[in-house]
A and B are shown apart, each in its own frame.
Chain A
Amino acid sequence: MAESAIRSATVHAGAAKAQRAGEKWAPWILLAPTLVIMNVVGVYPLLHSLYISFTGAKPTDPNAHQGWVGLKNYAEVVSDGQFWHAVLVTGGFTALSVVSSLVLAVLMAILFNRPLPGFVLMRSLILIPMLVTPIAVGLIWRIMMMPELGVLNYLFGIVGLGPFQWGSSRGSALASVVLVDVWQWTPFMFIIIFAGLKSLPRSPFESAQIDGASGWQTFWQVTVPMLKPVIVIAVLLRLIDAIRTYDTIYIITRGGPDFVTDVVSIYLQRVNFRFFDLGYGSALSWVTMLLILAVVLIFVNLSGFLRIVNEKEAR
């Protein structure tokens, strides 16, 4: 049986060589669809938008000069106070949201890292917020946060707090959207850090115990350093998403009141699709992109993210 299979498969060495040499192309054939999609749907529009950013494109205004305007749009970006305000708001929103959800997630991971009745079910329930469509998250929180009818003010009223104005007052709007973001994405940080905690070896904790470290010392000297790679990855992913937050803020405050929650993605959407100032909008987009890139690269460098990823690979 095997003999006949061998004979029928026998080919001239030359043909076999040509065929096996073709294997060199196999990875590129496999990569081709991805590269095509990435370039056609991803890179090309990006380059196109770079081009638009040097023009005065504004389809709604036939009188405007639609052609090449050089660096004019970029010069305007630099002096656009509204934009830099949005950048600050985005920075504040991101920092508050990422830091609070990190702290909360670490505490929760430690809390749930023991076997008590019902913890498995509770962990599953806690995951749900990150699965709810962000638009729905915005809607339900906006409904709960309504000053007169909302259930939040009712609940706080029971314990004698409030009523709060939540998203509709200048003072509490940013805190409100941060709260919603923290509510939705802490579960994401939590499961990553929880998984990291579960995967830590026991022996360092045992030797810390024998060495006489207190719970607090163990936490800072053993748990945190060993969790660092996982924390770095969780923070990076959270950072990238927090900077782009749009949906919940769009639903809850639309950037208001008085622009206190006017993050960059809301501002960009307004410039591009309310005023159809596409040339200027594109320039804004590119500046935004470079800012984000800078933030991420700084974080990647400070945290040694690539080293962590490569170490994972080496194993």
Chain B
Amino acid sequence: MSVQIKNVEKSFGALKVVKGVSVDIADGEFFVMLGPSGCGKTTTLRMVAGLELPTAGEIRIGGRDVTYEEPRHRDIAMAFQDYGLYPHLSLRGNIEFPLKVRGVPEAERRTKVESVAQKMGISHLLDRKPGQISGGQRQRVALARALVRNPRVFLMDEPLSALDAKLRATMRTEIKKLVTELKITTIYVTHDQIEAMSMADRIAVMKDGDMVQIASPLEMYERPQTKFVAEFIGSPAMNLLPARARPDGRMACDLPVLAELLPDAELTANPVAPAKMAAYIGIRPEHLSLVEGGEGQADFEAVVDLVEPLGQTTNVYLNVGDIRMIAVVDRTRVQAGQRVGVKVRREALRLVAA
């Protein structure tokens, strides 16, 4: 079922936490709202759920206006950060709860619960209470409860943030697989860019109650429109160098060679960074390579500040005068203090708005 959010606003007293958000989410899409805490992503999700009412704007699910409808009439399911399991009910009681309140007969409930429990790998736990199982198992129960009635839209509010890193990675793949299989429209809220990148069909990066950019994960990574997005997505973060427009329409940059290398097409490629405004020239660390010895091929020279070998790749921190940059390269023998040449992958240079 598609979800439309149109100019939705939400204020708590004088504080405006969501400032006119609009987005169309397609049927079956996995849509992630990504942002730091306090950016309004959870509030937006809760308005889609009907747990909060918007101060202005409209929310449609499957074309029907549900802006002021009660949560139970929206036919949605939700997974909470702290799972929201009913502590007094067994796992079976938890999973069958949505069916029970909707008056599904006992026999049908039984088969549905069994099958979803099997799918989530928790069949053997059904008679336990939520207090007697582990965090990962609890999240599985929460998902089972959400999936058991085939909701039209699946809302997830940081469902993995309470789990440890390893479990988080497994659950991530599992959720993605499950939801893709079932083709349920999913809205997923997280502050973890890796979760967003790995799961989403599209990501909306939110900041201060606004969606600052909506794009597919790769596009978001390749073409961040603003400094905020560029820094939020990707680790280590994109190298950003302050740049100014020159009278002749080209850019000036603290590291002039980057401004020279910036392809003309990039000057107009970013819709929110018109060439005349103050901006940044950005380059992802993996698009810088080190040239040892043959300084002639390098675009500029730098001094190695620190080398962090991570196994698969190596982070190299560079000083170019006062400018600090980082390059991600394969194995390298450069050492701190060494002077190296740096080569820039020209087509990866971007103009990023402030």
Cβ of A17 within 8 Å of any chain B Cβ, yes or no, is yes
B166 at the interface (CB under 8 A from A): no
Count of A residues near B, CB < 8 Å? 14
How many residues of chain B are within 8 Å of chain A by beta carbon? Answer: 14
Q: Is the CB of B68 within 8 A of A17?
A: yes
Which residues of A in the span 1-59 have a Cβ within 8 Å of any Cβ on B? 1-2, 5-6, 9-11, 13, 16-17, 19-21, 23
| Interface check B231, CB cutoff 8 A | no
A10-B64, A20-B53 known; A5-B69 Cβ under 8 A: no
Per-position contact with A for B41-82: 1 when CB-CB < 8 Å, else 0?
000000000000100000000001101111011010000000
Contact residue among A2, A19, A21 (Cβ-Cβ distance under 8 Å from B75): A2
Complex alpha-carbon distance, A17 and B68, angstroms? 5
CB neighbours (8 Å) of B149 from chain A are 2
CA distance A6 to B68 in the complex (A): 14
Known contacts A2-B102, A6-B75; is A13 also within 8 Å of B70 by CB? no
Residue of A nearest to B70 (CB): A20
**B67 and A13 form a contact (CB under 8 A):** yes
Closest to B69 in A: A16
Is B218 an interface position by the 8 A CB rule?
A: no
> Which chain B residues numbered 121 to 150 have a C-beta less than 8 Å away from chain A?
149-150
Tell me if B68 and A20 are in contact (CB < 8 A): yes
Residue B162 CB within 8 A of the other chain? no
**Complex: A10 Cα to B67 Cα, angstroms:** 12
- Determine the distance from Cα of A92 to Cα of B150 in the docked complex, in whole angstroms: 71
Q: Are A10 and B73 in contact (CB under 8 A)?
A: yes
Total of A-B residue pairs, C-beta within 8 Å: 34
> What are the residues of chain B within 8 A of A1 when measuring CB–CB?
102, 104
Q: Which residue of B lies closest to A14 (CB)?
A: B68
Instruction: Give the complex CA separation of A9 and B101 in angstroms.
Output: 14
Q: Which residues of A contact B53 (CB under 8 A)?
A: 20-21, 23
Chain B residues whose CB sits within 8 angstroms of the CB of A19 once the complex forms: 68
User: Which residues of A lie under 8 Å from residue B65 when comparing CB positions?
Assistant: 13
- Pairwise interchain contact B150-A2, C-beta atoms closer than 8 A: yes
**Cα–Cα, bound, A23→B75 (Å):** 21
**Chain B contacts for A21, CB-based, 8 A:** 53, 68
- Chain A residues within 8 Å of B69, by CB: 9, 11, 16, 20
Nearest Cβ in chain A — how far from B59, in angstroms?
10
CA distance A17 to B53 in the complex (A): 9
Q: What's the Cα separation between A5 and B72 when bound, in Å?
A: 10
Q: Of B64, B69, B104, which is in contact with the most chain A CB atoms at under 10 Å from its CB? A: B69
**Which one of B67, B73, B104 lies within 8 Å of A6 (CB-CB)?**
B73
Distance between Cα atoms of A6 and B65 in the complex (Å): 12
In the docked arrangement, what's the CA distance between A23 and B71, Å? 13
Chain B proximity of A4: nearest CB distance (Å): 10
Q: In the complex, which residues of chain B have a beta carbon less than 8 angstroms from the beta carbon of A2?
A: 75, 102, 149-150
A33 to chain B, nearest CB (A): 25
In the docked arrangement, what's the CA distance between A6 and B71, Å? 11
Q: Which of A6, A11, A17, A23 has the most CB of B within 10 A?
A: A6
Query: Is A17 within 8 A of B67, CB to CB?
Result: yes
Contact A9 B73 (CB under 8 A): yes
Min CB gap A236→B, angstroms: 32
Q: Measured between alpha carbons, how far is A23 from B72 in the docked complex, in Å?
A: 15
Instruction: Give A2 to B68 CA distance when docked, in angstroms.
Output: 19
User: Closest chain A residue to B65 by CB distance?
Assistant: A13
Distance in Å: Cβ of B108 to nearest Cβ of chain A: 9
- A5 and B102 in contact (CB under 8 A), knowing A10-B73, A20-B53? yes
Chain A minimum-CB-distance residue to B108: A1
A11–B70 Cα distance when bound, in Å, is 11
Q: In the complex, A5 Cα to B103 Cα: how many Å?
A: 10
CB distance from A57 to the nearest CB of B (A): 47
In whole angstroms, how far apart are the Cα atoms of A5 and B70 in the complex?
13
A23 CA / B53 CA spacing, docked (Å): 10
Chain A residue with minimal CB distance to B53? A20
Contact of A16 with B68 at beta-carbon distance under 8 Å, contacts A2-B75, A6-B75 already known: yes
- The chain B residue with its CB closest to the CB of A19 is B68
**How far, in whole Å, are A20 and B59 apart by their CA atoms in the complex?**
15
Give the CA-CA distance A21 to B70 in the complex, in Å.
Answer: 11
For B64, what are the chain A residues with a Cβ–Cβ distance below 8 Å?
10
A13→B53 CA distance, assembly (Å): 13
Interface string of B75-110 (1 = CB under 8 A from A): 100000000000000000000000000101000000
Q: In the docked arrangement, what's the CA distance between A10 and B62, Å? A: 13
Q: What residues of chain B lie closer than 8 Å to A10, measured between beta carbons?
A: 64, 73
B48 to chain A, nearest CB (A): 15
Instruction: Name which residue of chain A comes closest to B103, CB basis.
Output: A1
Whole-angstrom CA separation of A299 from B204 in the bound complex: 52
CA distance A9 to B71 in the complex (A): 11
User: Are B73 and A13 in contact, with the CB atoms below 8 A?
Assistant: no
Which B residues between 207 and 231 are near A, CB-CB below 8 angstroms?
none
Least Cβ–Cβ distance between A14 and chain B, in angstroms: 9
Question: How far, in whole Å, are A11 and B72 apart by their CA atoms in the complex?
Answer: 13
For A162-184 the 0/1 string (1 means CB < 8 A from B) is 00000000000000000000000
**Distance A5 CA – B75 CA, assembled complex (angstroms):** 9
Separation of A126 and B58 alpha carbons in the complex (Å)? 62
Name the CB-closest residue of A to B72.
A9
Chain B, Cβ-Cβ closest to A15: B68
A1 to B104, CA, bound (A): 8
Closest to A2 in B: B75
Residue ranges of B at the interface with A (Cβ–Cβ < 8 Å): 53, 64-65, 67-70, 72-73, 75, 102, 104, 149-150
19 further contact pairs, Cβ within 8 A, besides A13-B65, A13-B68, A20-B70: A2-B75, A2-B102, A2-B149, A5-B73, A5-B75, A5-B102, A6-B73, A6-B75, A9-B69, A9-B72, A9-B73, A10-B73, A11-B69, A13-B67, A16-B67, A16-B69, A17-B68, A20-B69, A21-B53
Instruction: Identify 13 residue pairs between A and B in the complex whose beta-carbon atoms are under 8 Å apart, listed by A's number.
Output: A1-B102, A1-B104, A2-B75, A2-B150, A5-B75, A9-B73, A10-B73, A11-B69, A20-B53, A20-B68, A20-B69, A20-B70, A23-B53
The 4 closest A-B pairs by CB, nearest first: A17-B68, A9-B73, A16-B68, A20-B68
